Amino acid sequence: MALEVVIAESKQALKEFIELPYSLYRGNPFWVPPLRIAVKELLDRAKHPFYANAEAEFFLARRDGRVVGRIAAIVDHNHNKFHEENAGFFGFFESTDDPEVAAALLGAARKWVFARGAGLLRGPVNPSTNYECGLLVDGFESPPMVMMTYNPPYYPALMEKAGLRKAKDLNAYVNTAAAVELEKIGRVADRKLAKSGVTVRPINMKDFNNEVVRIWDVYNSAWKRNWGFVPMTREEFFLMGKEMKQILKPDLVLVGEAGGKPIGFALALPDVNFALKAAGGSLFPTGLLKILYYQRLIKSLRVLALGVLEEYRSSGLAAAFYVRLTRVARKLGYSGDCEMSWILEDNVLMIRSLEVMGAKHYKTYRIYEWH
């Protein structure tokens, strides 16, 4: 049975690239089908703002004409400029349980990025750490939350057999709003905020575009020392803000200020994956109606961003964010799981804070490297 890896050049090949997971995961109770239209937009190298500062190529693996795997090879110039390194990346990886397929795809991606000056291959990132990233290596028994990945349990073995090794683990923690003990942490946070003069407010939806600019500035500053961080361009951040606007709850998007200047922000999103799962990846003919119906029944949240400018990290703002988010979640009736993700495995301060609030480590995602 002949195996070949080809570039997905034609419209038909790109369609096959997009469609592969829908057949590969058929019958899997945990996988959440993304909307095809959203995947197509994310892969559009002519229009999506990510590719204004990046190059990418998409590959398909075929065995006797049947698609058995896919991968994207990526050179992110923003990342390499910011970190002063020559890294190449891979993403959107999918494969049958066949080490030959995985090795051929990863080899093709490595060859492509090395031909463009890279000295290593790192991933998966879809297409950077600002989007879905990481390979699930622990915690396969539940669906992913919004903007988190899922893959079969055999994927880590495919990576290792192909020669890739761990670069960094990204952890997900879980708790419920009802289980968080607020009295002590709330008292400490309130006292610290009062002493520092820092205030917390929800996002102003009537001034949404200017709010996005303020949050963008904080995001690129507060996260700049984090491993793997890539500054987002204004165009990327605005597009992500536009997409999130459809599902966010204003009281769950918090801005911290000192002297009227934004110094931190926190973002929790309703787990829209609960509604997307029912749509099966398509808006029509009934997918949109299913999303609208199930969206009202969402009870879980994901805290996907919480950051404070370095000079204000002793102000108690981070704790205050968690306290406010917990109180709002209770008020709005989010009685299900609340996931905090992702947290770098060596972010000891954040991990300790989460554990104090009763959160448990329940999923691990891994970024791999191949030199």
Q: List, for residues 145-170, the tens digit of each pLDDT value.
A: 999 999 999 999 999 999 999 999 99
Q: Domains for the chain: give ranges and CATH numbers.
A: 3-168 (3.40.630.30), 175-370 (3.40.630.30)
The DSSP bridge pattern shows strands 165-176 and 337-344 to be antiparallel
State residue 228's pLDDT score.
95
With a CB cutoff of 8 Å and minimum separation 6, the contacts of 362 are 139, 142, 172, 173, 174
CA 326/CA 332 separation, integer angstroms:
10
User: Which tokens is 212 given?
Assistant: 């996005």
In this predicted structure, the answer to whether residue 342 has a pLDDT above a threshold of 80 is yes
pTM, two decimal places:
0.95
How far CA 185 is from CA of 255, 327, 350, in Å, comes to 19, 12, 14
Angle (deg, nearest 10), helices 234-245 and 208-222:
120
The DSSP bridge pattern shows strands 165-176 and 135-138 to be unpaired
Which of 206, 209, 192, 147 shows the shortest CA–CA distance to 308? 192
Q: Identify the residue with better confidence: 186 or 261.
A: 261
CA 74/CA 133 separation, integer angstroms:
13
Q: List, for residues 1-40, the tens digit of each pLDDT value.
A: 699 999 999 999 999 999 999 999 999 999 999 999 999 9
Q: Which whole number is the average pLDDT over 272-280?
A: 95
Is it true that the peptide bond before 285 is cis, omega within 30 degrees of 0?
Answer: yes
Q: Which whole number is the average pLDDT over 63-90?
A: 97
CA 299/CA 54 separation, integer angstroms:
37
